[in-house]
Every structure is written in structure tokens, then in C-alpha cells.
């Protein structure tokens, strides 16, 4: 006996005596004879006739047929009329008109919250939604789920580790949903609730409605409500009648209608151009001009973007030196070491270049420990972060580099070619607001075809620390011989020294262990992220931490301290905030070059 699936007892929706055998896609049934004049249909599975289910009716059982095979011959008793007649019946396909929510019972709370959020859609649009809480006592739960799956137009998967661990989800619900998405046009949306290995499952081929690197559980309550609003709007869009062309929202978000994702254009508010492999880019970041090289879908590489594989010969080594502070008998000494760092040089024209240093992939503990002097609550709690490799500018952007790019064709706004108070081609550019820094990155991307942007806060601190765990990458304190800050003040038992009262040429002081200069002092440096008061629910990867649907003037992040800062503000973990339109004589920035690839779900 061949067992093909699950038998379900239903009322036939229509009886057809003539079925074209050539239209049958694939099916088989299993029978066994209890009596020569009687046949019993055992277990079967759903099949399709030109995307319509075909059934066989015998003794009141309406049987879907599925597995490849041939139309069976009716038993002899049926042909002679001595047993209930077998009739081929084709039921019209059930209308897919409802939302099917698939989840783990551990995450039931999120289903309730989502149902509350979409209640207005239920009232105004007649939205039908289904989850297994609607199964009544005494119902055959598998049968009810099968029926609901067949009627689903949109499937919303609430993904967590418990969801992926469910045998029923993995072996029953999910395969049917993926098949229906491919064959019958079911739309699949998914929401990351908690961290999981979703990237190792077929779900990863479909568009996430939220940044998988920052699942719902990591958001604060207000952000969670905002995220639920976004989810509800995406559901509304996916349930709307299909159009001949994708909607503007679908183009902007990838395909939030639930089809396998393509490269997506970022939305407003980002420093990078489209195609960058950062999840937050596609959903929450800028609508910058898209370089032609980013239009075609490309495979996601395992290496950073620049230089690309075809011009890897651009990689070269830069000489630098680093220094470690050591305390000996109450006195501080400096141990200098030479460095050779790998990177590439971006030619900006007119003899001006931008050195980009390769930052290795790795993990670190972000934030400051509770016993670190001058620590604030905004620098905790400490949390593990894992990052991919990327390239970072060896120094803050200089006035010469700024002037070169300011002369290029604009993307969205004009740039003042000489905004700085303290003049000097090799001094860091300052009096640059976050918005102008973003414009710089977009022009750089547009001209080079690479993905330049501001660093995420995690990228900045990871690169600054360069494997160190002390308050400064130089060690437990700071000295004016190693950085430009207000040397009239000390950190811990460190020494006093010179207060320069102005910026200094970049790379005037030793680099950190990865060859980056001026991460402590000189100018504050903008990061991509929005400001959050503390690290509760912060991302565990290199993605910028953005607030969904944030206002244009939402606070942004600054790192590193400046020439006017006390040394405690120059620590690796110190973070402050400012409005994106704010420009001051102690604020500059540096850039990163992001990994390439269209993936939204690394």
C-alpha cells in the first residue's frame, strides 16, 4: 500500500463526470480491498490539476490526489454497480482570502499584540486572519490547519528559535507554505521575534519585514509598537489586489509582498547608496542615486567590497606605528611598535587620495564595564557584537579630501567647500553636520561605484578598540603625547600636558593596533545610528541601530572626543548625541566602505 498523505472527510463542492486526463498534473492514491466488492481509500495528499485540486469521491470521502502516477481504474465493483460508485470530482480551488499566522506557542504574546494592532484592518477591510487559537475543542487540529493553509493569501511567519525548532512547523506547515508560494502565488512575510538561525533555512529567501539583526525582542516598548504598525501596513499591502507593476513601497523595501528578495534601494536618511549589504539599508535608509554598477543583482561575496575581486591588485600595505602605555613604578612609559596594515587608496583627483584600511571580521564586547571611571549608563549594558570585515578611512576626512569631493556633482545638496574654522589641507574638516557628511558619502559612492557610508556605532567602537579592552586603545589612560584633547585634565592617574586649543594635522599621533589614527580626540566623528539612551536590545552585529519612521531631526551619534574634550570623553566607549543638522568646530567624520551584495538577511 502506498501512503501518500492525510485523508480528510469533507463535503464535495462540485462533481464532474468528465476530467481531461491530459490536464492531470500528477497524482496517485492508495487502496486496499477489505472485500472483493468494496474498496477503501486510505491516506492521500493534495495535488493539482492546472493548479486546481483534483479529488476522488468514494463512500462520502472527498480525497485530494497528489503523488506522480496515473489515473486509477475504478474497482470492478464500481463498474458493475455492486458497490458505491467512484466518481472523479474536481473542487474549485478555495479562494485565498485570509492571513495565516504561523508561530511557536512560546511566542503567543506576539500574536495577541499583532491581532490588536491589525484590528482596524479587520473592521475596515474585512480582513480574515487565522491562527491555531481558533481551533475549537474537539476539532481535528491537523485538518483545521490544512484547511486554513489552503485558504491563506498571505502567510506571516513569526520567527524565533522555538519556531524553527518546531517539528510540525518544519515538516508540515513550512513545506506547504513554500510550495504554495512558488506554485499558487501565496505571499510569505516573516518577522524576526528573537535571534535565531533563520539564515540557514528556506525562510531566508523571503523578505523580512524588520531588520533580522534587530528582532522585536531587542526593541524598547515604543519601538515595538512602531514596528507592529509597520508589520500591519505591510500585511495590508500584501493582501491588496495585485497590480500589473510593483508598488512604490515594494520597490523601496525590496519585495515586501513576500516574494524572494532582490537588491533593494535604500530609503531616506542614509549615508550609503543602494546595494550595500546592511539590513537596515533596504528598509530605513537613504533614497540616494543608484550607481549603474548596482542595478544588476550580484552574488553576495564573502569579502569586503573595495577593492572588488576584479581589481584586488589595488590592495597595498601602509606603514604606521602604534603605541601602548605602560605604568612602571608610578610613571607612565610608551612602548612604540611599527605596523604594516593592508588597505587601498581611493584617488580623489588633484593629487588627493583617501587611504582605506581593512578591518578584520571578529567579535568584541561593546560598551564600558560598570567599574570603568567616568562611565555613564548610556555606555551599557555591555553586549557581544559580531562583525564582518569592512574598510575604514585611516584618518578623519581632511579638508583637502572634503574640498575634492565638494567639487563633484551633487546627489541631494550642495556642500560648502571650505567650512572649517581651523584651516589646513591635512587637518580634519570640521563644522560638518551629519546631513553634509551623508552627502559626502553619497558623492563618493556615486563617483567610485563603491558603497561608502558613515560607520555604524558598532563598527566605530570595534575599529577603535582594535582588540583592546582598556578605556583607550593605548591603554588605561591617555596622554597629550598620544592624542589631541584638553591636556589640562587627566583621566585616572594619567599625566597632564598640552592643551592645543585647535585641531591638529591627521595622523600626527600613533595609530591604534589596526593602523587607524585620531580615534581619541581631534574631532568628534559622526556615526550612522540614531541615539538610544542605553544598549538594551541593541543589535548584536555591525548594523546601524535605527529608529523606524524616525523624524528627520532625530538625534544621531558622535564618537571619539575632540581637541576641546576632557580625556574621559575620548574613551573608546564614550558616546554623545547631537541633531543631524548641527555643525561645530570640533565635529568631523570618517567613512567606511561597506560589503557589497543585495542580501537583506546576512
* Residue with more model confidence, 487 or 91: 487
Nearest to 589 by CA among 435, 410, 374: 435
Residue 51 confidence (pLDDT): 33
Q: Is the pLDDT of residue 496 over 70?
A: yes
pLDDT computed for residue 147 by the predictor: 66
Mean pLDDT confidence for 294-305 = 34
**Model pLDDT, residue 455:** 97
User: pLDDT exceeding 70 applies to what percent of the chain?
Assistant: 65
pLDDT tens-place string over residues 103-159: 888 888 888 888 888 778 776 655 555 555 555 554 444 556 566 666 677 888 899
Q: Report the pLDDT value the prediction gives residue 307, as an integer from 0 to 100.
A: 55
Per-residue pLDDT, 235? 81
Give the 3-state secondary structure of 45-102: CCCEECCECEEEEECCEEEECCCCCCCCCCCHHHHHCCCCCCEEEECCCCCCCEEEEE
Give the phi and the psi of residue 385 in degrees, each rounded to 5: -135, 135
Confidence of residue 406 (pLDDT cuts 50, 70, 90): very high
pLDDT of residue 541: 94
Does the structure show a pLDDT above 80 at 92?
A: no
d(CA 525, CA 537): 24
pLDDT bucket at 21, cuts 50 / 70 / 90: very low
pLDDT of 185 above 80:
no
Question: And the C-alpha cell for 378?
Answer: 548610556
From edge to edge, which strands make up the β-sheet containing 587-588? 575-578, 556-559, 524-530, 587-588
For residue 213, what pLDDT is reported?
Answer: 82
pLDDT at 143: 58
pLDDT of residue 312: 57
Task: Locate 466 and state its grid cell.
Answer: 582594535
pLDDT of residue 10: 31
In this predicted structure, which of 168-172, 430-434, 563-567 has the lowest mean pLDDT? 168-172
* Domain locations along the chain: 21-90, 98-261, 363-387+397-593
Distance CA 517, CA 27 (A): 68
What confidence score (pLDDT) does residue 84 get?
39
Report the pLDDT averaged over residues 476-498: 94
pLDDT band at 304 (very low <50, low <70, confident <90, very high): very low
**pLDDT value, residue 220:** 83
Half-sphere exposure in the Cβ direction for 342 (13 Å, CA): 12
What pLDDT score was predicted for residue 277? 36
Provide CATH code, domain 98-261: 3.40.50.10140
Q: Tens digit of pLDDT for each residue in 222-244?
A: 888 888 888 888 888 777 764 43
Residue labelled with grid coordinates 491530459: 22
Q: What does 116-144 look like in DSSP terms, one character per residue?
A: HHTHHHHHHH--EEE-GGGPPTTS-HHHH
Written in H, E and C, the secondary structure of 249-304 is: HHHHHCCCCCCECCCCCCCCCCCCCCCECCHHHHHHCCCCCCCHHHCCCCCCCCCC
Grid cell, residue 541, equals 552585529
- Give tens-digit pLDDT for 411-458: 999 999 999 999 999 999 999 999 999 999 999 999 999 999 999 999
Tens digits of residue pLDDT in 110-122:
888 888 887 787 7
Mean pLDDT of 337-365: 94
Rounded-to-integer distance, Cα 228 and Cα 241, Å: 22
Q: What is the pTM of this model?
A: 0.54
Mean pLDDT of 518-533: 97
Rounded CA-CA distance 313/202 in Å is 36
Cα-based distances in Å from 594 to 308, 314, 364, 388, 445: 11, 17, 19, 10, 10
Res 68: pLDDT: 38
Class of domain 363-387+397-593: alpha beta
63 pLDDT more than 70: no
Q: What number is the average pLDDT over the span 380-395?
A: 96
Residues across the chain: 602
Return the pLDDT at 114. Answer: 85
First to last CA, the chain: 45
pLDDT digits (tens, 9 = 90+) for 246-287: 333 333 333 323 333 333 333 345 565 433 333 333 333 333
Note the pLDDT of residue 96. 57
- Whether residue 24 is predicted with pLDDT greater than 60 in this model: the reply is no
Q: How confident is the model at residue 339, as a pLDDT?
A: 87
The whole-number pLDDT of residue 5 equals: 31
CB atoms within 10 A of CB 513: 18
- Strands 61-64, 87-90: parallel, antiparallel or unpaired by DSSP? unpaired
Report the run of H or E that residue 237 belongs to, with start and end.
helix 221-239
Average pLDDT over the chain reads: 74
464 close to 438: Cβ distance less than 8 angstroms:
no
Decide the pairing of beta strands 38-41 and 54-58. unpaired
Amino acid at each position: 500500500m502506498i501512503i501518500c498523505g492525510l485523508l480528510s472527510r469533507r463535503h464535495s463542492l462540485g462533481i464532474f463526470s468528465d476530467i481531461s486526463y491530459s490536464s492531470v498534473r500528477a497524482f496517485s492514491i492508495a487502496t486496499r480491498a477489505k472485500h472483493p466488492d468494496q474498496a477503501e481509500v486510505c491516506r492521500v495528499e493534495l495535488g493539482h490539476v492546472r493548479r486546481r485540486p483534483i479529488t476522488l469521491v468514494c463512500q462520502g470521502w472527498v480525497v485530494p490526489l497528489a503523488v506522480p502516477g496515473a489515473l486509477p481504474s475504478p474497482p470492478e465493483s464500481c463498474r458493475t454497480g455492486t458497490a458505491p460508485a467512484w466518481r472523479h470530482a474536481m473542487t474549485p480551488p478555495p479562494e485565498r482570502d485570509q492571513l495565516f499566522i504561523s508561530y511557536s506557542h512560546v511566542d503567543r504574546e506576539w500574536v495577541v499584540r499583532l491581532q490588536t494592532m491589525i484590528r482596524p484592518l479587520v473592521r475596515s477591510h474585512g480582513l480574515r486572519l487565522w491562527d491555531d487559537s481558533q481551533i475549537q475543542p474537539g476539532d481535528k487540529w491537523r485538518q483545521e490547519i490544512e484547511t486554513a493553509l489552503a485558504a491563506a493569501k498571505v502567510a506571516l511567519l513569526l520567527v524565533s528559535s522555538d519556531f524553527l525548532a518546531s517539528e510540525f512547523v518544519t515538516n508540515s506547515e513550512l513545506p506547504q507554505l513554500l510550495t504554495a508560494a512558488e506554485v499558487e502565488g501565496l505571499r510569505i512575510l516573516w518577522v524576526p521575534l528573537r535571534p535565531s538561525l533563520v539564515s540557514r533555512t528556506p525562510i531566508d529567501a523571503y523578505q523580512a519585514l524588520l531588520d533580522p539583526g534587530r528582532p522585536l525582542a531587542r526593541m524598547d516598548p515604543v519601538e515595538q509598537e512602531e514596528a507592529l504598525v509597520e508589520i500591519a501596513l505591510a500585511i495590508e499591502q500584501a493582501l491588496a489586489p495585485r497590480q500589473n507593476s510593483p508598488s512604490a513601497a515594494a520597490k523601496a523595501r525590496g519585495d515586501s509582498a513576500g516574494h524572494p528578495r532582490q537588491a533593494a534601494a535604500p530609503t531616506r536618511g542614509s549615508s550609503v547608496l543602494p546595494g550595500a549589504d546592511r539590513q537596515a539599508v533596504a528598509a530605513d535608509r537613504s533614497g540616494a542615486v543608484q550607481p549603474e554598477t548596482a542595478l544588476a543583482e550580484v552574488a553576495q561575496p564573502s569579502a569586503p567590497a573595495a577593492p572588488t575581486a576584479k581589481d584586488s591588485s589595488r590592495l597595498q600595505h601602509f606603514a604606521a606605528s602604534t603605541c601602548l602605555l605602560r605604568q612602571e613604578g608610578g610613571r607612565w612609559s610608551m612602548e612604540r611598535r611599527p605596523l604594516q596594515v593592508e588597505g587601498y587608496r581611493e584617488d580623489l583627483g588633484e593629487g588627493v587620495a583617501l587611504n582605506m584600511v581593512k578591518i578584520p571580521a571578529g567579535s568584541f564586547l561593546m560598551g564600558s564595564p560598570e567599574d570603568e571611571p567616568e562611565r555613564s549608563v548610556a555606555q551599557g549594558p555591555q553586549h557581544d557584537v559580531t562583525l564582518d570585515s569592512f574598510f575604514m578611512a585611516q584618518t578623519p576626512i581632511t579638508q583637502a579630501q572634503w574640498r575634492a569631493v565638494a567639487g563633484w556633482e551633487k546627489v541631494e545638496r550642495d556642500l560648502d567647500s571650505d567650512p572649517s574654522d581651523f584651516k589646513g589641507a591635512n587637518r580634519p574638516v570640521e563644522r560638518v553636520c551629519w546631513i553634509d557628511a551623508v552627502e559626502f558619502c553619497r558623492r563618493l559612492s556615486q563617483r567610485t561605484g563603491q558603497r561608502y557610508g558613515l560607520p555604524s556605532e558598532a563598527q566605530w567602537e570595534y575599529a577603535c578598540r582594535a582588540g583592546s579592552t582598556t578605556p583607550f586603545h593605548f591603554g588605561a589612560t591617555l596622554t597629550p603625547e598620544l592624542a589631541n584633547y584638553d591636556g589640562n585634565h587627566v583621566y585616572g592617574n594619567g599625566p597632564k600636558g598640552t592643551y592645543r586649543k585647535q585641531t591638529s594635522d591627521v595622523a600626527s599621533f600613533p595609530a591604534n593596533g589596526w593602523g587607524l589614527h585620531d580615534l581619541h580626540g581631534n574631532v568628534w566623528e559622526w556615526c550612522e545610528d540614531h541615539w538610544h539612551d542605553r544598549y538594551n536590545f541593541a543589535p548584536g552585529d555591525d548594523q546601524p541601530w535605527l529608529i523606524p519612521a524616525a523624524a528627520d531631526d532625530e538625534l544621531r551619534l558622535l564618537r571619539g572626543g575632540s581637541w576641546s574634550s576632557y580625556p574621559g570623553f575620548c574613551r573608546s566607549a564614550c558616546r554623545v548625541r547631537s541633531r543631524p543638522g548641527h555643525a561645530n568646530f570640533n565635529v568631523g567624520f570618517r567613512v567606511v566602505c561597506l560589503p557589497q551584495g543585495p542580501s537583506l538577511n546576512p
